[in-house]
């Protein structure tokens, strides 16, 4: 395997809505570059990229795969990514390490919602983007409409480089307005004939050529002067202009292909090696302190891990980008996260499901290493004497959570498997929730979570099922009460005695001390589950010894953790111990703890207890035609609309919605909008539930308690 200088490396991510043809394009590029001798197809399940059994079954990309091509002495590291929103976690890391993208559009459907979402991510990562319109041989292909939708969604920076001579069933020729040539392809695709542009298309080609030249000249003063001087720009000048304009995202060139019939792919690869910048010339990487780091072999050796996988008979593997210097087997590098030194073993370049060993990897290249101890996604490895730490990839917040249940036991094996999945997929969140007594798996949607159940069953032979998550309600009170409980127990030996009088009040910030009671001690506890407990020692005359106050507090706290009303955790309560009595022999900490617990429970239930539910801020991004349906649906979920705004071509609806109304909302939203909407959510606060909802929850709790007896 050749070793490539940084200047001859190009890292490119394939992006686009599911079904746009990214994997087919990658397969054709591999074939055109002579990487493979025969093209496979997603239908047959034999493509270079979608090699995982799950991808063959679903006939679409589920995992990010990396393949490398040699095109005229340049190495193209091509990263094929899933186009389904549920697998967005597979996309964000490649965007961080590549800085160059190809957006693949389906000529029949134009810009789809998945493409819009990915475009926004690419913009956030400040990457350069080019566009490929695929499937121009489809009977319903509409190139003009696709270009129109691209300019509507992405802006006037979309510049047409090519257009089809004819499309649909008769597609076999592309007119290139940069080279002012027509490429006519044989029936089987491959190398085209270069022909003059037909007279019938000359006016359109001239118009688009001038638009292209003017767009490039507008972004470079020197080229603008040349344009005014000569009235045009030659090919080398145009290529130079493309490099500069794409770097600042002022131009996004648009190409034409039929990936399935191998028409137009070579021109795309030629543009990649000619116009897309190498890692050392491109946008610098960002360090954790916000400073910039230039990718160069002149830098000390370093690498950034962007993906972690595990394969049978191989074990843990990490995919990384060389961020500085030259890496060689046997080199010792320092892990900034663990503060440990790691020795590099065999180095390889990834070729989808295979690995090809190399003697070294230079700055900007992408590699894979096996069994790097305690190394995982987002780790930086570097020389200890020249420490650097790259900014970590931030993964999107989960939009869906379900409780996972093992159908055939073996909880230890299940825990091991889930920990491994969390390493491989940082967008997945695993929570062994003690409060809800459920194993909760959170991700980007139902497909994302179903991926986990598929892998558990096929890789670990663990059959699982999903159920809705319980809701972490909170209990509080709405009026003040006094409560007393006397605990007295005599059983032959030493007895137990404790008498506790409590004033239980709703707590609010800045509230005055209780009337008629002298406060002698105050403790304020920020509860781990949110809210506050304020504990006041108001004992006078020594009726309860101070040494029993911690036991009283402990009894109150334990009952708050398992609330009196529904078993949910209580919050925002002030408890004042103002009276009581004790026995010289029979009083002890256990007795006062029990008395406090019972007094608190009795008083809490008399203090007009209320349930509170978690409220989430939900943002829905949706095409305008679905706005009415979205707002009606949110209102039906007890949601409160708090804002509406535009985000590019989409509308953004912001609402406050109870968590209990959001179970499987991701799936419902896709169904309601034909997959064209997406949403995000984040916890905001707690609010009281309606009385009828509270009565239903309390009744369900009582039934569960009775069933357990």
Mean pLDDT, the chain, whole residue set: 92
Structure tokens at 324: 């500085």
Ordered by start, the domain boundaries in the chain are 8-282, 297-382, 400-467, 475-607, 612-692
Structure tokens at 620: 């829905």
pLDDT, position 492: 65
pLDDT in tens, 290-324: 999 999 999 999 999 999 998 877 888 999 999 99
- Provide the CB-side half-sphere exposure for 321 (13 A, CA): 27
pLDDT, position 120: 86
Tell me, yes or no, if the two domains 400-467 and 612-692 fold the same way. yes
Structure tokens at 483: 């409560």
pLDDT for 491 beyond 80: no
pLDDT, position 411: 83
CATH superfamily of 297-382: Translation factors (2.40.30.10)
Structure tokens at 590: 């256990």
Q: What is the DSSP string of 310-345?
A: EETTTEEEEEEEEEESEE-TT-EEEETTTTEEEE--
pLDDT, position 325: 97
CATH of 475-607, one of 3.30.390.10, 3.40.30.10, 3.30.230.10, 1.10.645.10: 3.30.230.10
Q: What is the rounded average pLDDT of the residues 419-442?
A: 92
Q: What are phi and psi of 588, to 5 degrees?
A: -155, 175
Exposed, middle or buried: residue 667 (CB in 10 Å: 0-12, 13-18, 19+)? middle
Domain over 8-282 is classified CATH 3.40.50.300: yes
pLDDT band (50, 70, 90) for residue 708: low
Residues with Cβ within 8 Å of 709's Cβ and at least 6 positions away in sequence, in order, are none
pLDDT for 707 beyond 70: no
Nearest Cα to 248, choosing from 285, 277, 210, 206? 277
pLDDT band (50, 70, 90) for residue 585: confident
pLDDT for 160 beyond 90: yes
Summary count for the chain: helices (H), strands (E) = 16, 38
Kindly list the distances between the CA atom of residue 174 and the CA atoms of 142, 211, 234, 367, in Å, as whole numbers in the listed order. Answer: 14, 18, 20, 36
What is the CATH code for 400-467?
3.30.70.870
Which CATH fold topology does 612-692 show? Alpha-Beta Plaits (3.30.70)
Q: What are phi and psi of 267, to 5 degrees?
A: -65, -40
Q: Are 421 and 458 in contact (CB under 8 A)?
A: no
pLDDT band (50, 70, 90) for residue 705: low
The percent of residues above 90 in pLDDT, for the chain, comes to: 75
In the block, tokens 């009595």 appear at 581
Dihedral of the CA atoms 239, 243, 245, 250 (nearest 10)? 110
Nearest Cα to 269, choosing from 382, 191, 343? 191
Q: How far apart are the first and last CA of the chain?
A: 69
pLDDT for 709 beyond 60: no
Q: CA triplet 676, 681, 687: central angle to 5 degrees?
A: 135
Q: Are 80 and 67 in contact (CB under 8 A)?
A: yes
pLDDT in tens, 97-109: 998 999 999 999 9
What is the rounded CA–CA span in Å between residue 239 and residue 218? Answer: 14
What is the rounded CA–CA span in Å between residue 557 and residue 597? Answer: 8
Q: What are phi and psi of 109, to 5 degrees?
A: -105, -15
Exposed, middle or buried: residue 546 (CB in 10 Å: 0-12, 13-18, 19+)? exposed
pLDDT band (50, 70, 90) for residue 697: confident
Kindly list the distances between the CA atom of residue 29 and the CA atoms of 1, 70, 435, 437, in Å, as whole numbers in the listed order. Answer: 18, 10, 52, 50
pLDDT for 345 beyond 90: yes
Q: Are 414 and 680 in contact (CB under 8 A)?
A: no
Q: Which residue has the higher pLDDT, 9 or 408?
A: 9
Sign, Cα dihedral of 429, 531, 606, 593: positive
For residue 96, give the 3-state DSSP assignment.
Answer: helix
Q: Are 404 and 356 in contact (CB under 8 A)?
A: no
Nearest Cα to 572, choosing from 481, 480, 658, 477? 477
- Provide the CB-side half-sphere exposure for 264 (13 A, CA): 30
521-526, strands of its sheet edge to edge: 481-489, 496-506, 573-581, 532-537, 521-526
Q: What is the rounded average pLDDT of the residues 257-267?
A: 96
Q: What is the DSSP string of 559-585?
A: HHHT-TTTSSEE-SEEEEEEEEE--TT
Q: CA triplet 608, 609, 612: central angle to 5 degrees?
A: 135
Residues with Cβ within 8 Å of 268's Cβ and at least 6 positions away in sequence, in order, are 29, 102, 132, 255, 257
């Amino acid at each position: 395997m050749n070793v490539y200088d940084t200047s001859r490396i190009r890292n490119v991510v394939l992006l686009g809505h599911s079904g746009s043809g990214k994997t087919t394009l990658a397969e054709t590029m591999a074939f055109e570059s002579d990487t493979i001798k025969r093209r496979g197809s997603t239908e047959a399940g034999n493509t270079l990229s979608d090699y995982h059994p799950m991808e063959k079954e679903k006939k679409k990309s589920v995992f990010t795969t990396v393949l490398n091509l040699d095109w005229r002495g340049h190495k193209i590291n091509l990263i094929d990514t899933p186009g389904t929103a549920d697998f967005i976690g597979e996309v964000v890391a490649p965007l961080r390490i590549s800085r160059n993208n190809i957006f693949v559009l389906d000529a029949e459907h134009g810009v789809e919602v998945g493409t819009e979402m990915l475009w926004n991510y690419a913009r956030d990562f400040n990457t350069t983007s080019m566009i490929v319109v695929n499937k121009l041989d489809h009977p319903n292909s509409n190139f003009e409409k696709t270009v129109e939708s691209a300019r509507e969604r992405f802006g006037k920076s979309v510049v047409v480089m090519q257009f089809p001579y004819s499309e649909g069933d008769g597609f076999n020729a592309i007119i290139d307005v940069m080279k002012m040539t027509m490429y006519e392809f044989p029936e089987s695709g491959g190398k085209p004939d270069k022909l003059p542009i037909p007279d019938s298309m000359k006016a359109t080609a001239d118009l688009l050529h001038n638009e292209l030249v003017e767009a490039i000249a507008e972004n470079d003063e020197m080229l603008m002067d040349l344009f005014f001087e000569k009235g045009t720009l030659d090919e080398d000048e145009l290529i130079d202009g493309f490099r500069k304009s794409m770097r600042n995202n002022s131009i996004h060139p648009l190409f034409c292909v039929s990936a399935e019939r191998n028409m137009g792919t070579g021109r795309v690869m030629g543009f990649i090696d000619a116009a897309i910048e190498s890692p050392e010339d491109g946008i610098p990487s960002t360090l954790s302190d916000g400073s910039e780091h230039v990718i160069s072999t002149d830098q000390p050796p370093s690498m950034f891990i962007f993906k972690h996988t595990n394969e049978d008979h191989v074990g843990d593997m990490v995919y990384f980008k060389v961020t500085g210097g030259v890496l060689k087997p046997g080199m010792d590098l320092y892990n900034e996260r663990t503060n440990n030194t790691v020795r590099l073993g065999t180095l390889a370049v990834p070729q989808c499901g295979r690995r090809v060993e190399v003697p070294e990897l230079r700055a900007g290249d992408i590699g894979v290493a096996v069994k790097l101890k305690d190394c995982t996604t987002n780790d930086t490895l570097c020389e200890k004497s020249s420490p650097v730490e790259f900014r970590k990839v931030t993964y999107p917040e989960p939009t869906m959570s379900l409780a996972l249940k093992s159908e055939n036991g073996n909880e230890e094996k299940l825990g091991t498997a889930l920990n491994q999945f969390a390493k491989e997929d940082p967008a997945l969140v695993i929570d062994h929730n003690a409060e809800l007594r459920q194993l909760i798996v959170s991700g980007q949607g139902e497909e994302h979570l179903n991926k986990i159940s598929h892998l558990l069953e096929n890789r670990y032979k663990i059959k699982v099922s999903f159920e809705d998550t319980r809701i972490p309600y909170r209990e509080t009170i709405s009026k003040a009460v006094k409560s007393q409980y006397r605990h007295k127990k005599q059983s032959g030996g030493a007895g137990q005695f404790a008498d506790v009088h409590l004033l239980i009040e709703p707590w609010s910030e800045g509230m005055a001390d209780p009337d008629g009671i002298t406060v002698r001690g105050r403790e304020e506890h920020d509860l781990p589950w949110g809210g506050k407990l304020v504990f006041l020692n108001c004992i006078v005359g020594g009726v309860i010894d101070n040494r029993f106050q911690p036991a009283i507090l402990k009894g109150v706290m334990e009952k708050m953790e398992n609330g009196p009303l529904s078993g949910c955790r209580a919050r925002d309560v002030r408890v004042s111990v103002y009276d009581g009595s004790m026995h010289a022999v029979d009083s002890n900490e256990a007795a006062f703890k029990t008395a406090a617990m019972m007094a608190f429970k009795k008083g809490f239930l008399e203090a007009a207890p209320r349930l509170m539910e978690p409220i989430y801020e939900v943002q829905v991004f949706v095409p305008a035609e679905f706005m009415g349906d979205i707002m009606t649906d949110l209102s039906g979920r007890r949601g409160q609309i708090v804002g509406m705004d535009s985000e590019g071509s989409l509308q953004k609806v912001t609402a406050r919605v109870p968590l209990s109304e959001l179970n499987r909302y991701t799936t419902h939203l896709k169904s309601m909008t034909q997959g064209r909407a997406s949403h995000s959510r984040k916890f905001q606060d707690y609010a009281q539930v309606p009385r009828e909802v509270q009565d239903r929850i309390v009744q369900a709790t009582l039934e569960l308690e009775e069933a357990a007896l």
